[in-house]
Amino acid sequence: MADHTIQESIYILKKSSTRLSVSTDKQRNDLLLAIGQGLVDDWAEIERANALDLSAAEANGEKEALVKRLVFDIEKRDSVIAGLKQVAALQDPIGRVLERRLLDTSLLLERVSFPIGVIGMIFESRPDALVQIVSLCLKSGNGIILKGGKEAAHTNAALVASIYKSAASSPLGSEWLLLLTSHSDVDVMLKMDGLIDLLIPRGSNAFVKYVMDNTSIPVLGHAAGICHMYVDKEADLAMASECAFDSKTQYPAACNAIETILVHKDIAPVFLLMLASRMADKQVILHGDSQTRSYIDCLPCTQGDYDTEYLALELNIRVVDTYQQALDHIAEHGSHHTDAIITKNKELANLFMREVDSADVMVNCSTRFADGFRFGLGAEVGISTAKIHARGPVGISGLMSSKWLLQGDGQVVASYTGSNAKPFLHKELAIGEESK
309 part of the interface to a copy of itself, by CB under 8 A: no
Minimum separation from the CB atom of position 3 to a copy of itself (A): 23
**Among candidate residues 120, 116, 99, 117, the one with its CA nearest the CA of residue 108:** 99
Classify the C-alpha dihedral 65-70-74-78 as positive or negative: positive
Strand duo 258-264 + 382-384: pairing:
unpaired
Residue 58's contacts (CB-CB under 8 Å, 6 or more residues apart) are: 67
Looking at the Cβ atoms of 308 and 364, the one nearer to a copy of itself is 364
Q: For residues 370-389, which are near a copy of itself according to CB under 8 A?
A: 370, 374-376, 386-389
Minimum separation from the CB atom of position 169 to a copy of itself (A): 24
116 part of the interface to a copy of itself, by CB under 8 A: yes
Q: For residues 251-280, which are near a copy of itself according to CB under 8 A?
A: 251
Stretch that binds a copy of itself, among 81-89, 161-169, 293-301, 404-412 (CB under 8 A): 404-412
Three-state SS at 229: strand
* Total residues interacting with a copy of itself, rule: CB under 8 A: 75
Residue 216's contacts (CB-CB under 8 Å, 6 or more residues apart) are: 193
Which of 278, 393, 394, 396 is close enough to bind a copy of itself by CB under 8 A? 393
Looking at the Cβ atoms of 62 and 242, the one nearer to a copy of itself is 242
Which of 91, 216, 283, 303 is close enough to bind a copy of itself by CB under 8 A? 216
Q: State the CB neighbour count (10 A cutoff) for residue 347.
A: 8
Minimum separation from the CB atom of position 275 to a copy of itself (A): 14
Confirm if 333 and 279 have CB atoms less than 8 A apart. Answer: no
What is the side-by-side strand order in the sheet with 314-320? 299-300, 285-288, 314-320, 258-264, 227-231, 338-342
Which of 101, 191, 233, 329 is close enough to bind a copy of itself by CB under 8 A? 101
- Separation in Å, CA 123 to CA 14, 142, 237, 249, 396: 20, 17, 39, 24, 17
Which of 32, 34, 144, 361 is close enough to bind a copy of itself by CB under 8 A? 361
Confirm if 240 and 268 have CB atoms less than 8 A apart. Answer: no
Stretch that binds a copy of itself, among 75-83, 105-113, 200-208, 279-287 (CB under 8 A): 105-113
Confirm if 37 and 11 have CB atoms less than 8 A apart. Answer: no
Confirm if 55 and 75 have CB atoms less than 8 A apart. Answer: no
**Among candidate residues 271, 264, 229, the one with its CA nearest the CA of residue 369:** 229
Looking at the Cβ atoms of 64 and 281, the one nearer to a copy of itself is 281
Q: For residues 416-435, which are near a copy of itself according to CB under 8 A?
A: 416-417, 424, 426, 428
Residue 154's contacts (CB-CB under 8 Å, 6 or more residues apart) are: 49, 50, 52, 53
Q: For residues 23-52, which are near a copy of itself according to CB under 8 A?
A: none
Q: For residues 318-357, which are near a copy of itself according to CB under 8 A?
A: 331, 349, 351, 353-355, 357
Which of 22, 51, 270, 280 is close enough to bind a copy of itself by CB under 8 A? 22
Minimum separation from the CB atom of position 71 to a copy of itself (A): 18
- What is the DSSP-derived secondary structure letter of residue 90? S
Q: For residues 80-99, which are near a copy of itself according to CB under 8 A?
A: 95
Q: For residues 168-197, which are near a copy of itself according to CB under 8 A?
A: 197
Minimum separation from the CB atom of position 109 to a copy of itself (A): 6
Residue 43's contacts (CB-CB under 8 Å, 6 or more residues apart) are: 74, 77
Minimum separation from the CB atom of position 66 to a copy of itself (A): 21
Which of 281, 413, 423, 436 is close enough to bind a copy of itself by CB under 8 A? 413
Distance of CA 428 to the CA centre of its chain: 33
| C-alpha to C-alpha distance for 188 and 87, rounded to whole angstroms | 31
Minimum separation from the CB atom of position 148 to a copy of itself (A): 24
Looking at the Cβ atoms of 160 and 240, the one nearer to a copy of itself is 240
Stretch that binds a copy of itself, among 169-177, 200-208, 210-218, 264-272 (CB under 8 A): 210-218
210 part of the interface to a copy of itself, by CB under 8 A: no
